Amino acid sequence: MRFFTPELYLRFNSPDPSVSNKADEDWESAIREYGETLDKIRSQLPPEAGKLADLCLHDAGLLADEQAKEFLSPFRFSPAMEILSVNHQGDVVVLIYQLWDRVRKSPSPSQWPFSKHRVHWLYDEIDLASPHGSLYFHRVFLSDGRTLEIPFSSVFIHVVPLSRSAKTTGDS
């Protein structure tokens, strides 16, 4: 994560008002800086990556994080696809990434004070990995403190509405 880091999130949630107030200012700066960065690169994003950048999955429950089988590319042995599924506002949102390298998964910071149960999506960032706009990163910060850096060349977004009965009963 470049903007919405676990360290900033920890400071933002500090019980010390002087720490949390400064982190609040830093958080507002991160929002502005990320927005400016996204505005600069938006024209280089393919339509689906642009949709991904606009998709707000904050607080969506992580259902699955799967990598498809690996394949041998001309450059290295790397995974072919990453699939993330989340429960978001009564829908299952499935993100299918065509990868150009391995997904990097960073563990939560030591002494992470928040629950690691029922993991949900906190924040994410889209970025260019190449100056010509053909390779991208999707960085995702999860509530258990982990971060994912997904190196993708294309992404497919599929939304599956949960059944009407599941929405009315609250089952997920």
User: 112-135, pLDDT tens digit by residue?
Assistant: 999 999 999 999 999 999 887 789
Rounded to 5 degrees, φ, ψ at 147 are -130, 150
Angle at 35 between CA 29 and CA 39, to 5 degrees: 145
Q: Can you tell me the distance from the alpha carbon of 140 to that of 106, in angstroms, rounded to the nearest whole number?
A: 10
* 75 C-beta neighbours (distance < 10 Å), count: 8
Q: Can you tell me the distance from the alpha carbon of 117 to that of 68, in angstroms, rounded to the nearest whole number?
A: 25
Give the count of alpha carbons within 13 A of 40, CB side only. Answer: 10
Residue 36 lies in a domain: no
Residue 23 lies in a domain: no
90 residue type, one letter: G
- In tens, the pLDDT along 41-71 reads 999 999 999 999 999 999 999 999 988 766 5
Residue 133 lies in a domain: yes
Residue 1 lies in a domain: no
- In tens, the pLDDT along 154-167 reads 999 999 998 765 55
Residue 30 lies in a domain: no
Q: Can you tell me the distance from the alpha carbon of 49 to that of 55, in angstroms, rounded to the nearest whole number?
A: 10
**What's the structural domain count of the chain?**
1
Domain with 117, as residue range(s), is 46-169
Supply the pLDDT for residue 169.
Answer: 47
Residue 16 lies in a domain: no
Q: Can you tell me the distance from the alpha carbon of 148 to that of 169, in angstroms, rounded to the nearest whole number?
A: 32
Please give the span between the terminal C-alpha atoms of the chain, in angstroms, as a whole number: 29
Q: Can you tell me the distance from the alpha carbon of 59 to that of 30, in angstroms, rounded to the nearest whole number?
A: 19
- In tens, the pLDDT along 69-108 reads 665 555 555 558 999 999 999 999 999 999 998 899 999 9
Our measurement of the distance from residue 166's CA atom to the centroid of its chain's CA atoms, rounded to an integer in Å, reads: 26
Residue 38 lies in a domain: no
Query: Which residues are registered as beta bridge partners of 103?
Result: none
Residue 32 lies in a domain: no
